[in-house]
């Protein structure tokens, strides 16, 4: 049998890159990781993703796949054990809907919060707490969005960890707190405690420093 060759082009601090690492580890797939410098992208990356020129890119036996959610579905369909997406078409649709929501609505809102000031920031916070309430509705009583184990939406929602760290770095009160969002807060603690997730988050100190550099200037000008 031919050897599997799996490469992942990513960056240490990118939530979308880390998502792929979670998916690969959940499947027990061996892979070679290539750290990219986004200010000096490798010829390999540009060759494998000429359209967006972005990470993450998964290269499986020489064939490249880009876009994190597309990659995760590819991984799930290629290595069929330990399923990431549910089997039922309706549940799959819900997982995809909410993952899209996180990337297209939640994340841009989260980025606005860390740079906004005063009244504007308060408005953004209200907005995002409403979004998180919507997510709570999807979680209900479950341990994870995927049920007993991590699923597609849990992996996509890893990006919430990045908001938490950014807020910590900036000395902001946590939006995702036990008082306002008890259900999602509980989920977050379980997520942070998960063995695979723990291997796939940036080292805390480095991450905090990065956030301070990236978002700190907006605080300094207040």
SS (H, E, C) 26-68: HHCCCCEEEECCCCCCCHHHHHHCCCCCCCCEEEECCEEEECH
What is the closest distance, in whole angstroms, from the C-beta atom of residue 60 to other proteins in the complex? 8
- Tokens 């995760």 belong to 72
Residues 6+ apart with CB under 8 A from 92: 85, 86
Q: CB–CB of 74/82 below 8 Å?
A: no
Considering only 2-10, 64-72, 111-119, 171-179, which stretch makes contact with other proteins by CB under 8 A?
64-72
Does residue 220 touch other proteins according to CB under 8 A?
no
Among 9, 21, 36, 67, binds other proteins (CB under 8 A): 67
Does residue 9 touch other proteins according to CB under 8 A?
no
**Alpha-carbon distance 30 to 37, whole Å?**
23
CA 213-216-220 angle, 5° bins? 135
List beta partners, residue 60: 6, 63
Does residue 16 touch other proteins according to CB under 8 A?
no
Considering only 88-96, 109-117, 154-162, 177-185, which stretch makes contact with other proteins by CB under 8 A?
88-96
Does residue 65 touch other proteins according to CB under 8 A?
yes
Per-residue binder mask for other proteins (CB under 8 A), 121-150, x = binder? -------------x----------------
Does residue 8 touch other proteins according to CB under 8 A?
no
Cα-to-chain-centroid distance, residue 194? 15
Among 60, 161, 163, 191, binds other proteins (CB under 8 A): 60
Does residue 192 touch other proteins according to CB under 8 A?
no
Among 16, 22, 24, 71, binds other proteins (CB under 8 A): 71
3 state SS of 191: helix
Q: Which residues bind other proteins (CB under 8 A)?
A: 51, 60, 63, 65-67, 70-71, 73-74, 77-78, 89-90, 92-94, 96-97, 100-101, 134
């Amino acid at each position: 049998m031919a050897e599997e060759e799996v490469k992942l082009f990513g960056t240490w601090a990118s939530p979308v890159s880390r998502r792929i690492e979670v998916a690969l580890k959940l499947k027990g797939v061996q892979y070679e990781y290539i750290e990219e410098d986004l200010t000096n992208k490798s010829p390999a990356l540009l060759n494998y993703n000429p359209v967006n020129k972005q990470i993450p890119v998964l290269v499986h036996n020489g064939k490249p796949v880009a876009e994190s959610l597309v990659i995760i579905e590819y991984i799930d369909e290629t290595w069929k054990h330990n399923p990431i997406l549910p089997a039922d078409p309706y549940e799959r649709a819900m997982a995809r809907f909410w993952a899209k929501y996180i990337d297209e609505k939640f994340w841009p809102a989260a980025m606005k919060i860390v740079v906004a000031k005063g009244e504007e920031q308060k408005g953004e916070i209200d907005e995002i707490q409403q979004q998180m309430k919507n997510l709570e509705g999807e979680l209900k009583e479950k341990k994870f969005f995927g049920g007993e184990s991590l699923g597609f939406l849990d992996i996509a929602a890893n990006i919430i960890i990045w908001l938490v760290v950014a807020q910590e770095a900036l000395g902001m009160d946590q939006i995702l707190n036990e008082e306002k969002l008890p259900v999602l807060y509980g989920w977050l603690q379980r997520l942070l405690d998960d063995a695979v997730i723990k291997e796939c988050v940036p080292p805390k100190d480095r991450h905090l420093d990065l956030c301070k550099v990236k978002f700190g200037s907006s605080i300094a000008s207040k």
